[in-house]
């Protein structure tokens, strides 16, 4: 698990636990050799109390922060400390009631980024075990509660590149911010590599290099 510092922000990777089985993830590639671990709650609380950091980023390279056993308590601690919060997650595996409790802790300067790479017929092709409907319902609930920015992060693959505009329109319909990303894990001859021609002109300015 990693702790990065970016100016007045602190990036915490709370856990290496994840319900997905993405093919390029080390958790999948070295299955059976990898142990899931969580940052101790008391350590996280001490880090959060540091007055030098105004923003806390909860995300993961090998895990998803929402699967930390004390995730909700950590969110409450961060918000009670008056800090800005950003959460990056796939979002699968949690009920709407749970998400409602999380969203109601947040404020207008906070953001929850959901990694959902495609629509119902493609979102699970790379992020294996993703539940599209469960994640999309969580995003729409967050947008309806309207206490924090809800962002749909869409990594472009060869299998979902034709769905960019449809996903963008769906996000706009429900008040969700839509962002497209290019994965940094592709090899030059990777069959998952998307073709630039599929990126609509109106969205090219949103194209950023992502994980």
Contact between 187 and 154 (Cβ < 8 Å): no
If we measure between CA atoms, which residue out of 59, 124, 66, 116 comes closest to residue 95?
A: 66
Confidence of residue 113 (pLDDT cuts 50, 70, 90): very high
Q: Is the pLDDT of residue 5 over 50?
A: no
Cα–Cα separations (whole angstroms), residue 2 to 37, 99, 142, 178: 12, 25, 27, 27
Q: Is the pLDDT of residue 211 over 50?
A: no
User: ∠ CA(125), CA(126), CA(129), 5° rounding?
Assistant: 75
What percentage of the chain exceeds 70 in pLDDT?
A: 92
Residue 78 is encoded by which pair of tokens? 């961060």
Domain count for the chain? 1
Confidence of residue 208 (pLDDT cuts 50, 70, 90): very low
Supply the pLDDT for residue 205: 62
Tell me the mean pLDDT in the region 69-83. 96
Q: Is the pLDDT of residue 85 over 60?
A: yes
Name residue, tokens 């299998």. 159
Determine the Cα–Cα distance for residues 119 and 162; give it in Å rounded to an integer: 10
Tell me the mean pLDDT in the region 27-31. 85
Q: Is the pLDDT of residue 12 over 90?
A: yes
Confidence of residue 173 (pLDDT cuts 50, 70, 90): very high
Determine the Cα–Cα distance for residues 121 and 38; give it in Å rounded to an integer: 32
Supply the pLDDT for residue 206: 57
Residue 182 is encoded by which pair of tokens? 């290019």
Tell me the mean pLDDT in the region 91-111. 97
CATH number for the domain including 150? Answer: 3.20.20.70
Q: Give the range of the structural domain holding residue 52, as residue numbers without chain letter.
A: 3-210
| pTM for the predicted model, two decimal places | 0.90
Tell me the mean pLDDT in the region 153-176. 95
Determine the Cα–Cα distance for residues 66 and 88; give it in Å rounded to an integer: 9
Tell me the mean pLDDT in the region 45-52. 91
**CA Rg, the chain, in Å?**
17
Q: Is the pLDDT of residue 202 over 70?
A: no
Average pLDDT of the chain, as a whole number = 90
User: In DSSP terms, which residues pair with 2 in a beta bridge?
Assistant: none
């Amino acid at each position: 698990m990693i702790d990065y510092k970016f100016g007045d922000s602190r990036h915490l990777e709370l856990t290496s636990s994840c319900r997905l089985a993405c093919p390029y993830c080390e958790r999948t590639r070295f299955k059976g050799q990898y142990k899931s671990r969580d940052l101790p709650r008391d350590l996280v609380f001490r880090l959060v109390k540091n007055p030098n950091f105004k923003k806390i980023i909860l995300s993961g390279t090998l895990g998803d922060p929402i699967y930390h056993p004390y995730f909700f308590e950590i969110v409450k601690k961060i918000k009670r400390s008056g800090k800005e919060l950003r959460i990056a997650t796939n979002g699968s595996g949690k009920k709407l009631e749970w998400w409602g409790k999380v969203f109601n802790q947040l404020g207008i300067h906070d953001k929850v980024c959901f990694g959902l790479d495609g629509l119902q017929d493609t979102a699970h092709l790379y992020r294996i075990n993703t539940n599209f409907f469960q994640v999309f319902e969580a995003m729409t609930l967050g947008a309806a509660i309207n206490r924090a920015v809800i962002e749909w992060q869409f990594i472009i693959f060869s299998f979902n590149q034709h769905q960019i505009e449809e996903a963008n329109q769906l996000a706009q319909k429900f008040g969700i911010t839509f962002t497209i990303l290019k994965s940094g894990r592709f090899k030059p001859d990777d069959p998952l590599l998307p073709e630039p021609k599929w990126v609509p002109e109106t969205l090219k300015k949103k194209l950023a290099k992502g994980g």
